[in-house]
Amino acid sequence: MPAHRFRSGTTRRSHPAKRFPALGTLVAAFSLLLAVPAQAADTPARGSAHLGMGVVAHDGQGGIPADSRATQTEGVDVSSHQGNVAWATLWSSGVKWAYAKATEGTYYTNPYFAQQYNGSYSVGMIRGAYHFATPDTTTGATQANYFVDHGGGWSQDGRTLPGVLDIEWNPYGASCYGKTQSAMVSWISSFLTQYKARTGRDAVIYTATTWWTECTGNYAGFATATPLWIARYATAVGTLPAGWGFYTMWQYTSSGPTVGDHNKFNGALDRVVALANG
């Protein structure tokens, strides 16, 4: 009798555990997948952060300031999101200064930085570089060094603005990067001190009043030496962080022409030149 046939009168009964040996494993694995938080899909990729990334979500989007206000000079800020920028178009529209993202943390450099930083300069703009801070990854001094070493330096040519510390909502996790207010102030101080040691210039602080209040306790101690670049997408700049009686720059919209992020420098073009000259 062939080996695969059964004897007459007998019935084969299959045991569920033997017939489907992997069923229990598959169910367990599926349960584990359901238990994993769906965080990865909502979290942007490291390096993708940029000036004002959290402004609309936290502070909202208002109107555009009227052109009839006190003399101000139009500027833009760019990152890898804009790619190669049409600088001649922006210059013709009245944009006279620009900042380009150079670095983030100690793990990212903007692949379009050269086109943006040098391209704005080539059409006649006064330009500068900014660093997106990640206080939960390395120290302030370490990130200041990384910034200076990768495009964030300063030269006294009358066309280069001091570097900017972009300190705002954490797009990758907790808004204040897991730091207490005093620890955040210490981190910012470390960055500013090292940047000045490397370049001889006080860096500009870019922030939003709501974030600054929450994450530094509305600390006023940097205002005497550090220019303020405030983010508020509305018809008026609103309340400034403690210590600053005026802003130097104001990012007022993320939906401007040619390049989304548009800004006002608080003064005529000669004041932009004055900041570049220190």
The arithmetic mean of pLDDT across residues 134-155, rounded, is 98
Find the range with the poorest average confidence among 44-48, 68-72, 133-137, 166-170: 68-72
Cα 37 from chain centroid? 25
The arithmetic mean of pLDDT across residues 5-9, rounded, is 38
Residue positions annotated with a catalytic role: 77, 166, 168
Tokens of 107: 């793990």
| Residue 98, φ and ψ in degrees, nearest 5 | -155, 150
pLDDT of residue 1: 42
Question: How many of the other CB atoms lie within 10 Å of CB of 46?
Answer: 14
Q: Tens digit of pLDDT for each residue in 225-254?
A: 999 999 999 999 999 999 999 999 999 999
**Can you tell me which residue has the tokens 């899909």?**
41
> In angstroms, rounded to a whole number, what is the distance separating the alpha carbons of residues 196 and 71?
30
* Cα distance from N-terminal residue to C-terminal residue, the chain: 100
Candidates 185, 197, 188, 100; CA nearest to 145 is 197
Q: How confident is the model at residue 109 (pLDDT cuts 50, 70, 90)?
A: very high
Q: Quick one: residue 129, left, alpha or beta (phi over 0 = left, psi -120 to 50 = alpha)?
A: beta
Amino acid at 100: A
CATH number belonging to domain 55-277? 3.20.20.80
> In angstroms, rounded to a whole number, what is the distance separating the alpha carbons of residues 248 and 245?
10
Q: Tens digit of pLDDT for each residue in 115-136?
A: 999 999 999 999 999 999 999 9
Query: Is the pLDDT higher at 149 or at 40?
Result: 149
Supply the DSSP symbol for 59. Answer: H
| pLDDT at residue 40 tops 80 | no
Q: Tens digit of pLDDT for each residue in 53-85?
A: 566 556 555 555 655 456 999 999 999 999 999
Tokens of 243: 């210590």
